[in-house]
Structure 1
Amino acid sequence: AKRRQHSAQPLSCSPLSLQLLAASLAMADESDLSPAEKLKIASNFISSSPPGQAQKVVEDVRTLIDKSVLTSSALNSCALKVNISQFVAVRVPGTSYAVLLTPTGDLGNSCFLDPNAPQQLVIDHLRQECIETRPLEAAHKEHVGCEEKRKSVDRAMKRYTDEFISGAVVTTYGREVERRAQITCCVGRVNMNLGNFWSGLWRSEWKLVIEANGRSGRLEGRVHCDVHYFEDGNVQLHDKLKFDKSIDVQPGDEGASFVSSVSEFEQALMASMEDIYQTMSESVLNGLRRRLPITKVKFDWDNKASVHKLAADLQKQSVR
């Protein structure tokens, strides 16, 4: 079973949009918006950060929002949400490997599970770094288990990504739930060339629940692909695919059937993307192309007074 969502939209975190944010906040002072409302505006910009550019967006927003509104706690909360949603990879101190920050690995209080050790990682979300490692606490023991099955899937998926998603980081979790093994494998890969005005993010999550007999299971997965182009414009492309399937599992080599199913679905995804890109310029992107206003005169986006007036007009429309 496959469920797909596909969208392309103007990007909300372009330099122009940050100009609009500044103008909107200036207008907010005049209309007496509460600090909570100002913080919500800033949070929306941070949460919409393009792939691999969250830190740059945070830096820009910090220059526009007073510290009394955008406190360290609020800023860290925003960064945490972005890091988890984008599967940010952090290097584990003293090792040669990285671990993804994912919902599955979230232990709370800015700590995340490193299933390889196993241990917990203390994260500085603004710097996107692991600043400390700690032993797992008793309450965390339920997050680990089924180690042989976990390792089998982890090894197989790393071989797979080495071949098809070069540079990707793989983090695989294992645990037992109601006498059934649950293996969750997360894959993340960000690629950027900001000098050529583009960045992209691939992240996927695959969860296999193996029945007590060890020979059958249910595989559920979701793939997110985000692309950002900002040469002479700003557009984000978001593509999502969800699926689930019953699979046969070979005891002792769970990774083989796992990777076989993952490969099958991802190849289908790639083929469907090819079809979309063939018609995108005539359909989706054409709908995003900026048109002249009714005055038939181009808007001067570099004129701060014009941008300020536009922000004021948009705010009036939102109040209505």
Structure 2
Amino acid sequence: MEPEERIRAASNFLLQAPPGEINDVLNDVRNIVSDDEVLQSGVLSALREYNLAQFITAEVPGHQHQCIVSEAARLKVTEGEEGEEEETDRFWDPRSRTSFKFDHLSLEASDPQSVEPEPESEPFRAALEASTLTYLGAHFRSGVASVFSVPEKADQYIIQVVANKYNPANFWSGRWRSEYIIDFGARTITGKVLLNVHYYEQGNVQLETKHAISLAVPPTITATATSASKVLALIEVEESKYQESLGDTYQEMGEKTFKGLRRALPMTRSKLDWDKVLGYKLGAELTANKGAFGSS
């Protein structure tokens, strides 16, 4: 396999990494590439794509909270001397008005800089953020949220939430992601909930779901601070419905789907002693070949 093909294979594995297991996958694909320097440079774009899509969180430099690293948080900036400028990524946390560089391999933020928000949209964005953090504390024990105003679109806002739960001691991990775009121009709230769960005790089972949400913004909700909690109330209703539907689905899978995948008992109507399988097989072979040995 050529080095380019190895990098492509490694990148594909990384993009499919379960929640919280990206480093495990990265260590595994080292054997495919067999060159750490080539691996790090070759899969950096895949790591960046993965981190942005998965709403990876970062400690905001100089502050005591985390923020979400995502496409909505990305700032395009030009750095370098005149004539040699390069466009690079910086990410920002509206809550602390801080932008930073982010290392997609070490997952560390650095070089904090102050960023001033857009004055027109900031009052409602800040109120929406406060309501989102209240909602987060009530429903997501270890969640992180970021709320953004959309540049050059004063009537649009984005809410992003991520909650991770890693339990490698019991062989499972999970991630909840949700994103909502509030558009007061179109009077709509469009969103999605993405859920990833990986269970790998003596096996490998993964669940991936995507639930789309589309709501009309009632006339009573406007881009004012007093309406922020009403937006979160609408989101709370939709997410509660979705969680209830997931619970119903799990129950049905346990009672019907998984039972339909195989017989509860073999044809003999008695449980098979798996410790004796080799003995069964050996006995069958000896019986089949009895004539070949003759009789004594």
The two structures share one fold, judged by TM-score above 0.5: yes
Counterparts of 2:107 and 2:262, CA distance in 1: 33
Give the SS at the match of 2:44: helix
2:206 aligned residue: 236
Question: Structure 2 length as normaliser, TM-score?
Answer: 0.77
User: Aligned partners of 1:287, 1:223: CA distance in 2, in Å?
Assistant: 29
Q: CA deviation at 1:119?
A: 2.9
- Structure 1 residue 156, shift from structure 2 partner: 0.6
- Out of 17, 23, 27, the position equivalent to 1:59 is 27
- Name the structure 1 match of 2:182: 208
- Extract structure 1 runs of 4+ deviating beyond 4 A: 284-289
The 8 Å contact of residues 30 and 36 in structure 2, kept in 1 or not, is answered as no
Alpha-carbon displacement from aligned partner over 1:213-254 (angstroms, at most 9, x marks no partner): xxx831111100110000010011011111111113143323
Letter in 2 for 1:169: V
Deviation for aligned residue 1:171: 0.4
Decide whether the 8 Å contact of 1:146 with 1:174 is kept in 2.
yes
Q: Which amino acid aligns with 2:241?
A: A
Aligned with 2:101 (options 122, 125, 143):
122
Correspondence 1:89-238 to 2 at 5 A = 89-108=57-76, 109-136=88-115, 146-175=121-150, 177=152, 180-211=154-185, 217-238=187-208
1:63-74 equivalences under 5 Å are 63-67=31-35, 70-74=38-42
Cα shift at 1:73: 2.5
Structure 1 residues 189 and 68: alpha-carbon distance in aligned structure 2, compared to 1, 3 A threshold: closer
Distance 1:244 1:129 in 2: 35
Q: 1:16-47 CA deviation, whole Å, 9 max, x = no partner? A: xxxxxxxxxxxx3xxxxx32222111111111
Name stretches of at least 5 consecutive residues in structure 2 with no aligned partner: 77-87, 264-273, 275-296
Q: CA deviation at 1:63?
A: 3.8
Task: Give deviations 1:273-299, integer Å, cap 9, x for gaps.
Answer: 01110122342696599xxxxxxxx9x
Per-residue deviation at 1:68? 7.8
**Distance change (3 Å), C-alpha of 1:146 and 1:41:** same
Match of 1:83 in 2: 51
Partner of 2:294: none
In structure 2, C-alpha distance between the alignment counterparts of 1:206 and 1:48, rounded to whole Å: 24
Relative to structure 1, the CA distance from residue 278 to residue 133 in structure 2 (aligned partners, 3 Å threshold; closer, same or farther) is same
1:263 pairs with 2:233:
no
User: What is the letter of the counterpart of residue 101 of structure 1?
Assistant: V
Hey, what's the Cα distance between the residues in 2 that align with 1:267 and 1:59? 38
Task: Check whether the contact 2:174–2:197 (CA below 8 A) recurs between aligned residues.
Answer: yes
Q: What do the CA deviations read for 1:91-137 (whole angstroms, capped 9, x no partner)? A: 0111111110111112253421211232321011111111221345x
What's the RMSD between the two structures over aligned residues?
2.6
> 1:29-79: CA deviations, max 9, x gaps?
xxxxx3222211111111111101112211222243132884433222121
- Where 2:25 maps in the other structure, the secondary structure is helix
The verdict on how the C-alpha distance between 1:161 and 1:193 changes in structure 2, with shifts beyond 3 A counting, is: same
Distance in structure 1 (CA, Å) of the matches to 2:260 and 2:91:
42
How far apart in 2 are the matches of 1:288 and 1:39? 39
Would the alpha carbon gap of residues 80 and 145 (structure 1) be closer, same or farther in structure 2, given more than 3 Å must change?
farther
| Structure having the higher Rg | 2
Counterpart of 1:13 in structure 2 is: none
Distance 2:158 2:236 in 1: 16
Give the Cα separation in 2 of the matches to 1:174 and 1:259: 16
- Is 2:6–2:32's contact at 8 Å kept on the other side of the alignment? no
Distance 1:205 1:65, change over 3 A: same
Once the two structures are TM-superposed, the CA of residue 165 in structure 1 deviates from its matched residue by 1.1
